[in-house]
Structure 1
């Protein structure tokens, strides 16, 4: 059986993917370090708090896990720690006491607001070489790359 000839852009697309992955990993590594040094926290904790901040009414543990693309177990470990620190509160749902809703506490909101401002500032610094036109082109390219065939 003979393999079909590769698309002539195949190697260039592979190199683009490797570059994209490299930039993502480097940026994420710097953001992780910044959160650790400046805020004494981790990126997964920041992500949980960000998801809860976006949903002011709270999320069930299942909704939180889906939003973060992690298992319920992984989300539970992080929420347990945040709850012990008084940053989130778990409340059983009145409609189904087996289902627990998680919300940021006032202290958690205040802490997240501080971290989010610093996070945005650091992302701005890390991507500071990109001007408005670059950002628009990048957005358009990523949207195009993410388009799924139906």
Structure 2
């Protein structure tokens, strides 16, 4: 028989988790729709372009998968389409034939910078009802959650 005293915040934490999940899903859905309708692209394509933008000299396919938290197969499928569209290029490693580097092309860089500006504008609109103080509080709470600290 379990004689532990129930945590009085347990139900509130569960409700908070459900609310956080709902907000996250709604925001992601909104961004997916925005990218599809306004820019004819997908969130996975945007994510790959963003990762490569941060790694201007390119990165390996394995590292790209790790950065995106997706399987090598998923990353490869997106990179294949981006390469066909002239937005990324693959370069085999001179040291190891099994290793392939992927990087943005000049057109990929140009398109991503345009998309990133629009993406930022859309996210800004999603958060427009939050004040500077709200954003700071939310950032601090999320940092604590990310570190696994007790609330």
Q: Which category describes the TM-score, using the shorter chain as reference length?
A: over 0.9
Name the counterpart of 1:93: 93
What SS does the aligned partner of 1:141 have?
Answer: helix
Q: Once the 2 structures are TM-superposed, how far is the Cα of residue 93 of structure 1 from its aligned partner?
A: 1.0
The CA deviation at 1:144 is 1.0
Match of 1:31 in 2: 31
Match of 1:7 in 2: 7
Q: Which runs of 5+ in 1 are unaligned?
A: none
Against the structure 1 CA distance between its residues 3 and 68, is the aligned structure 2 distance closer, same or farther, given a 3 Å change threshold?
farther
Which secondary structure does the structure 2 equivalent of 1:20 belong to? helix
Q: Is residue 17 of structure 2 the alignment partner of residue 17 of structure 1?
A: yes
Q: CA deviation at 1:96?
A: 1.0
Residues 68-99 of structure 1: per-residue CA shift (max 9 Å, x gap): 00000000000000000100000001111210
Residues in 1 aligned to 2:115 and 2:37: alpha-carbon distance in whole angstroms: 12
TM-score (norm 2): 0.95
Decide whether aligned partners of structure 1 residues 45 and 3 sit closer, same or farther in structure 2, where only a CA change above 3 A counts: farther
- Extract unaligned runs of 5+ from structure 2: none
RMSD: 1.0
- What does 1:1-150 align with in structure 2 at a 5 Å threshold? 1-2=1-2, 4-148=4-148
Change (3 A) 1:34 1:3: farther
Kindly state the Cα deviation for residue 5 of structure 1 after the two structures are TM-superposed: 2.8
- For residues 24 and 5 of structure 2, the distance between their equivalents in structure 1, rounded to whole angstroms, comes to 31
Tell me the SS of whatever aligns to 2:91: strand
Q: In 2 relative to 1, CA 64–3 (structure 1 residues): closer, same or farther, beyond 3 Å?
A: farther
CA distance in structure 1 between the aligned counterparts of 2:139 and 2:46, rounded to whole angstroms: 24
The separation in 1 between residues aligned to 2:86 and 2:34, in whole angstroms, is: 22
Number of equivalences: 149
1:148 and 1:20 mapped to 2: Cα distance?
16
Runs of 4+ in 1 over 3 A off after TM superposition: none
